[in-house]
Amino acid sequence: ASFTLLCFRSPLVTPLIFALLLQAPFSQPSTITKPNFVLLLADDLGIGDVGCFGNDTIRTPNIDGLAKEGVKLTQHIAAAPLCTPSRAAFLTGRYPLRSGMDAINDYRVIFWNAGSGGLPPNETTFAKILQQQGYSTGLIGKWHQGVNCESRNDHCHHPLKHGFDYFYGMPFTLISDCQPTETPEMDRAFRRKLWLSTQMIGLITFTAVLGRLTGLISVHWRTLACLAGFSLLFFISWFSSYGFVRYWNCIMMRNHGITEQPMVTDRTTSLILRESISFIERNKHKPFLLFLSFLHSHTPLLTTEKFLGRSRHGLYGDNVEEMDWMVGQVLNAVDKEGLKETTLVYFASDHGGWLERQEGERQLGGWNGIYKGGKAMGGWEGGIRVPGIFRWPGVLPAGTVIDEPTSLMDIYPTVVHLAGGEVPQDRVMDGRDLLPLLRGAVEHSEHEFLFHYCGMHLHAVRWHQKDTGAVWKAHYMTPIFSPPGAGACYDRGFCQCFGEGVTRHEPPLLFELSQDPSEAKPLSADTEPLFDMVIRKIGRAIEEHRRTLTPVPEQLSVSNVVWKPWLQPCCGTFPFCWCDKEDDN
């Protein structure tokens, strides 16, 4: 009987054994249709600020737990070193210059809620595709991709026009101007020049009037009236915007409606956390995408009282530890609803930490570990290498570390494919589906070359030589640090992308990142036998890349970033914009 049973089973057992042997390293994601997505994006967080990426003094147990239960990417690269262009690339899966969301001038981010530039309506975000696939899509926190185009309520750049069913948060970005007790941050140097010019014009006007009254100079009263009128108009022309930054930029919205103008910063953290958990609870019975775009750890480092003084790194460390706690609360909400096994969680930062952000002896910006440079520097690793973590229990192998080049732009095709959608075929896409790499089905990233821009200016290119494992990086321009040798642009507050603020390299500076991740020892033709071959290979890649670029309207041109009163979101009758609907509730 047993022999008969064995003979009966063998035709079934043999192919079953082969199937098991050939199966990919982890369970097939196709068994889970339309997983939920929780995308957690920190603001200005340095790769060296997180425990699982080497920090042993700032406590980040919840983020570290994600890495322990999932996959950690150690060469995860932002497409830009500043908020607006990096987030545009994240949302579209494309280099920001393809959508016009990078600049040739010094205005490299959205500067006003009342500017007319922003993420173009013809760009297709991953949220829009997931919305079409039946997902509930929500954005909680920071947007910084524009609001209006031609009128105060057209909302052409608003999250709800870009695939999100629900939005709660800041249409702009957190800045020190939002905190009345902090020193103003926005356009600080330019604002000082405007004040100085106003004082000079006022002094000239006062001196002329005094001279006319004392008879020392002969000038017509009509001329003096015109001069006084010009002084007043000049003052009004800039103070009407810069004098009310807190009211114009520091606002909170729910969908299209303004809930706080200006925002009440003491409760912002609790409201963002409450909205995030509420979104999960409301949508637990259907597939959802939650994009939690943290205001942490951008200045003015809004931190609740219970976290103040807890870290060993002052206010910045307190703020990072509070963000980690928020991550834990969101993950707890996922677990509480029984969604852990069906939810892909992703954590990253939009770019590197801001080295120059200091007030006196207080360091208010992040730390980028062993990597050179920081925020606003398009080429150096410290500005673009960020923490990257994925967790999906049962699908992604826990405790995995991957050192392959990956990009924030890769989130787009990864999420879209898992949701059952298709990436747009009518445009160049720069992101690559990460799932095969994350699951261990392939050894190498699909990225052979990554192009590192500072504004519209190509500063560096990375070449992953897959047959040898080498990661070459050629710098064509690097920022000039000030003071010299300081490692950042402390005299200016930001490093420049072009002009007198950069050094051009011919031949380019070349580093082999797998051997020299700190970019401390540039190679030359004398020290590296492959130098000429590598430079030629990268040069050909640049030529091919540039052939894929097409002219598009510049969203960050001066005319698009300036404050336009007719575009200003206002919860009252402009210019009397004030409300606190959260307090009313």
Averaged over 533-544, what is the pLDDT?
A: 98
pLDDT of residue 584: 61
429, 423 in Cβ contact below 8 A? yes
Q: Is the pLDDT of residue 31 over 80?
A: no
Both tokens of 563, joined, read 């404050």
Active-site pick, 7, 52, 76, 144: 144
> For residue 308, what pLDDT is reported?
97
**Cα pseudo-dihedral 55, 61, 66, 68, rounded to 10:** 70
- The tens digit of pLDDT for each residue in 375-433 reads 999 999 999 999 999 999 999 999 999 999 999 999 999 999 999 999 999 999 999 99
pLDDT confidence bin for 302, thresholds 50/70/90: very high
- Is 444 among the residues known to form the active site? no
| Three-class SS state of 292 | strand
Structure confidence at residue 184 (pLDDT): 84
Average pLDDT, the chain: 93
The SS3 call for residue 227 is helix
CB atoms within 10 A of CB 213: 10
Q: What is the mean pLDDT of the segment spanning 357-370?
A: 92
What's the pLDDT band for 362 if we cut at 50, 70, 90? confident
Strands 385-391, 343-349: pairing is antiparallel
pLDDT at 219: 81
CB 149 within 8 A of CB 566: no
Query: Residue 475 burial (CB < 10 Å; 0-12/13-18/19+)?
Result: buried
Provide the pairing of β-strand 136-142 with 71-77. unpaired
From the list 52, 83, 178, 577, the catalytic residue is 83
Adjacent-strand bridge partners of 347:
40, 389
* Nearby residues of 464 by Cβ (< 8 Å), 6 or more positions away: 404, 405, 444, 445, 447, 448, 449, 470, 471
Banded model confidence at residue 32, pLDDT cuts 50, 70, 90: low
What per-residue confidence (pLDDT) applies to 532?
Answer: 98
- Pick from 317, 473, 297, 302: nearest CA to 386: 297
pLDDT, tens only, 484-521: 999 999 998 999 999 999 999 999 999 999 999 999 99
- Residue 322: per-residue pLDDT: 98
Q: Which residues, listed in sequence order, are joined to residue 257 by a DSSP beta bridge?
A: 254
Q: Strand, helix or coil at 137?
A: strand
| Preceding amide of 231 cis, omega within 30 | no
Given this model, what pLDDT does residue 189 score?
80
Partner residues linked to 402 by β-bridges: 73
Among the residue ranges 52-61, 356-365, 448-457, 556-565, the one predicted with the least confidence is: 356-365
Mean pLDDT, residues 222-230 taken together: 89
**Integer angstrom CA distances of residue 517 from 303, 370, 373:** 33, 8, 12
How many C-alpha atoms does 473 have within 13 Å on its Cβ side? 28
Dig out the tokens for 466 from the structure.
Answer: 């897959």
Report whether pLDDT(12) > 60.
Answer: no
Our measurement of the distance from residue 154's CA atom to the centroid of its chain's CA atoms, rounded to an integer in Å, reads 25
Measured between its terminal Cα atoms, the distance across the chain in Å is 76
Q: Is 83 tagged catalytic?
A: yes
Entry pTM: 0.92
| pLDDT above 70 for 132 | yes
Percent of the chain with pLDDT strictly greater than 90: 84
Residues 382-396: tens digit of each pLDDT: 999 999 999 999 999
Can you give the pLDDT at residue 104? 85
Give the confidence band of 190 by pLDDT, cuts at 50, 70, 90.
confident
The encoded tokens of residue 236 equal: 């009004």
